C-alpha cells in the first residue's frame, strides 16, 4: 500500500491549478441517464471516484469515454439495458445512490444497493427515499438493495419538505423531478455550489428549474431532456485545502481558478487567523509571513457555512496556532479520527463528542501516521509540511479519491513531498 513522505522545509511559493469539483462531477455524471442524447462534461477531475462512477454507469449500459487526458467525459445513455446498481461497485462510493433518481424518472424502475464511502458517520439514505416517495415512487428495502418503481405514467410532481439539509438527497430529488409530471417544490433544499452547478447543467439539457442556490427549488417537469456540454465547477474543497498550505507553513501561493464566493465562510476564518487573501480575476492568492497564525473557533455548517470537508485541514492549521481553538463538527458525528494521528506529531487536542479543543504548539514533529478517510489524509500531509523532520502518511488510497496529482501540485510550489510505492 502506497504512502506519502513529507519533509517540512519552510515557505511555499508559486501557483497551483485547482481541478473541477469531485462532488459536482459525481452528481453531473448520473444526469446522463436522464436523456438518450450525449452529455459531455469538461474540466472533469482525474480521480478514482470518477473512475468508480464511470464503471457504475457502464455497468448500467451507458457509454463513457475519457478524452483530453481525463479532463473531458463524453457520455451517452441511449441504451440502458440494466437497472440494477450492484453492491460490488456501489459499496466503494456513497455518491452511487445518485443513479436512483435518474433511472426511476426515465424508465420507471431501478434497483440500487445501499452505498458505501468514507466511514465518517451514519449518513443514512432515508431522505433520498422520502423525497422520491413524495414524487409517487413505490420503494422497498430488501437484502441491502432499494427496489424502486414509479407509478403508471411516471413520477408525479409533488412537495418535498426536507427535515434537515441534505446535499445528496436534494440532488437526487432535483434530477428525478425534471421528468416528473407537473410541478415539484423542494423545501429546505441544500444551497451548495454543486447544487447550482447541477441545476445549470440540467437547464442546458432542457429542464425548467428555478431557485437553485436558495432553500426553495421549483421544478416544472418536461417530457424529455436533450444533450448538452457543461464545465464542472471549481472544486471548493481542493481550493480550501491548498489555500491552507501557505497558511500552515508560510509563503505565497496563487490558486488558479479559485473564487472567494465558493468558500466565503472559510476565507473569513483564515483572515481572522491572520492569513492574507487577495482575489484576482480568475484566482485567489494566499500569503502568510513569519508570524504564527492566531487560534480561531470553527463550527461546520451546510453551505454557506464552514464546510465539514475542510474541518480536518483547518484543525491541522490550528495545531500550530497561537492560543486555543474549538472546532465543532455539526454535520458528521464521527469526523475527528484524524485527531489521534495529529497528536502523534505533537499536537495538543482534546476531543469530547462533537467538539475538539486544540491548543496550538510552536512546532509539530514528523512521525509515521495513518490516514483514516479522504480529508483526514490531506490534513496529515498539511501538518507534515509544517513539522520538523519527516512525516510518513500511510493508507493514502483515500487521498486518490479526492485529490489529483497532490504530490505534483505541492512539489511545484516548493514542498518536499514524494509518493513511496508499495514494494
Each residue's pLDDT tens digit, 218-228: 999 999 999 99
Locate the domains of the chain by residue range.
3-18+234-420, 22-231
Return d(Cα 270, Cα 300) in angstroms, integer: 14
pLDDT-derived band at 117, boundaries 50, 70, 90: very low
Each residue's pLDDT tens digit, 240-258: 999 999 999 999 999 999 9
Return d(Cα 253, Cα 380) in angstroms, integer: 19
Residue 22 annotated as part of some ligand binding site: yes
Q: How far is CA 123 from CA 98, 110, 237, 258, 291, in A?
A: 14, 21, 19, 29, 40
Is pLDDT above 90 for 51?
A: yes
Residue 124 annotated as part of some ligand binding site: yes
Least confident of 111-115, 149-153, 354-358: 111-115
Asked, colleague to colleague, whether 3-18+234-420 and 22-231 share their fold, the answer is yes
Query: Among the CATH numbers 3.65.10.10, 3.40.50.300, 3.20.19.10, 3.30.360.10, which is that of 3-18+234-420?
Result: 3.65.10.10
By percentage, how much of the chain surpasses pLDDT 90? 84
Return the SS3 of 199.
Answer: helix
Residue 309 annotated as part of some ligand binding site: yes
Return d(Cα 183, Cα 222) in angstroms, integer: 10
Each residue's pLDDT tens digit, 159-198: 999 999 999 999 999 999 999 999 999 999 999 999 999 9
- Model's pTM, two decimal places? 0.91
159-161 and 39-42: which strand pairing? unpaired
Residue 401 annotated as part of some ligand binding site: no
Is pLDDT above 60 for 120?
A: no
Is pLDDT above 90 for 290?
A: no
Segment 34-62 mean pLDDT: 96
Each residue's pLDDT tens digit, 252-289: 999 999 999 999 999 999 999 999 999 999 999 999 98
Q: In this predicted structure, what is the pLDDT of residue 118?
A: 39
Q: Are the CB atoms for 416 and 388 separated by under 8 Å?
A: no
Examine the residue annotation and report whether 118 is marked as an active-site residue of this protein.
yes
Options 118, 201, 249, 319, the catalytic residue: 118
Query: Which CATH superfamily groups domain 22-231?
Result: Enolpyruvate transferase domain (3.65.10.10)
Q: DSSP assignment of 76-125, as one string?
A: E-S-----EE-HHHHTT-GGGGGGHHHHHHHHSEEEEEPP---SSS---S
Return d(Cα 34, Cα 55) in angstroms, integer: 18
Residue 331 annotated as part of some ligand binding site: yes
Residue 69 annotated as part of some ligand binding site: no
* Helical pair 193-204 and 167-177, crossing angle rounded to 10 deg: 10
In terms of C-beta density within 10 A (0-12 exposed, 13-18 middle, 19 or more buried), how is residue 208 classed?
middle
Amino acid at each position: 500500500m502506497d504512502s506519502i513522505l513529507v519533509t517540512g522545509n519552510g515557505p511555499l511559493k508559486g501557483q497551483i491549478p485547482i481541478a473541477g469539483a469531485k462532488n459536482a462531477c459525481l452528481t453531473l455524471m448520473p444526469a446522463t441517464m436522464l436523456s438518450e442524447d450525449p452529455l459531455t462534461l469538461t474540466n472533469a477531475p482525474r480521480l478514482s471516484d470518477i473512475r468508480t462512477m464511470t464503471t457504475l454507469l457502464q455497468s448500467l449500459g451507458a457509454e463513457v469515454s475519457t478524452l483530453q487526458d481525463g479532463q473531458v467525459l463524453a457520455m451517452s445513455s441511449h441504451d440502458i439495458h440494466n437497472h440494477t446498481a450492484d453492491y460490488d461497485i456501489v459499496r466503494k462510493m456513497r455518491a452511487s445512490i445518485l443513479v436512483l433518481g435518474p433511472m426511476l424518472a426515465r424508465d420507471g424502475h431501478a434497483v440500487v444497493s445501499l452505498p458505501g464511502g468514507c466511514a465518517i458517520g451514519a449518513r443514512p439514505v432515508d431522505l433520498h427515499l422520502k423525497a422520491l416517495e413524495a414524487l409517487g415512487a413505490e420503494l422497498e428495502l430488501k437484502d441491502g438493495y432499494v427496489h424502486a418503481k414509479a407509478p403508471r405514467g411516471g413520477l408525479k410532481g409533488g412537495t418535498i419538505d426536507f427535515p434537515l439539509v441534505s446535499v445528496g438527497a436534494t440532488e437526487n430529488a432535483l434530477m428525478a423531478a425534471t421528468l416528473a409530471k407537473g410541478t415539484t417544490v423542494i423545501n429546505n433544499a441544500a444551497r451548495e455550489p454543486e447544487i447550482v452547478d447541477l441545476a445549470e447543467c440540467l437547464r442546458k439539457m432542457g429542464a425548467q428549474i428555478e431557485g437553485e442556490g436558495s432553500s426553495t427549488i421549483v421544478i416544472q417537469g418536461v417530457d424529455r431532456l436533450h444533450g448538452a456540454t457543461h464545465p464542472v465547477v471549481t472544486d471548493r474543497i481542493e481550493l480550501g485545502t491548498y489555500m491552507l498550505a501557505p497558511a500552515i507553513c508560510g509563503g505565497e501561493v496563487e490558486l488558479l481558478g479559485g473564487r472567494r464566493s465558493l468558500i466565503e465562510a472559510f476565507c473569513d476564518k483564515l483572515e481572522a487567523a491572520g492569513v492574507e487573501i487577495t482575489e484576482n480575476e480568475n484566482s485567489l492568492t494566499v500569503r502568510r509571513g513569519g508570524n504564527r497564525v492566531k487560534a480561531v473557533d470553527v463550527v461546520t455548517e451546510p453551505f454557506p457555512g464552514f464546510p465539514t470537508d475542510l474541518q480536518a485541514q483547518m484543525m491541522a492549521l490550528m495545531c500550530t496556532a497561537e492560543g486555543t481553538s474549538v472546532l465543532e463538527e455539526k454535520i458528521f458525528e464521527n469526523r475527528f479520527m484524524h485527531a489521534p494521528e495529529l497528536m502523534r506529531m505533537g499536537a495538543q487536542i482534546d476531543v469530547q463528542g462533537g467538539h475538539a479543543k486544540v491548543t496550538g504548539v510552536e512546532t509539530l514533529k514528523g512521525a509515521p501516521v495513518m490516514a483514516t478517510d479522504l480529508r483526514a489524509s490531506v490534513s496529515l500531509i498539511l501538518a507534515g509540511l509544517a513539522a520538523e523532520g519527516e512525516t510518513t502518511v500511510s493508507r493514502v488510497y483515500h487521498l486518490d479519491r479526492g485529490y489529483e496529482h497532490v504530490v505534483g501540485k505541492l512539489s511545484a510550489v516548493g514542498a518536499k513531498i514524494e509518493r513511496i510505492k508499495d514494494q
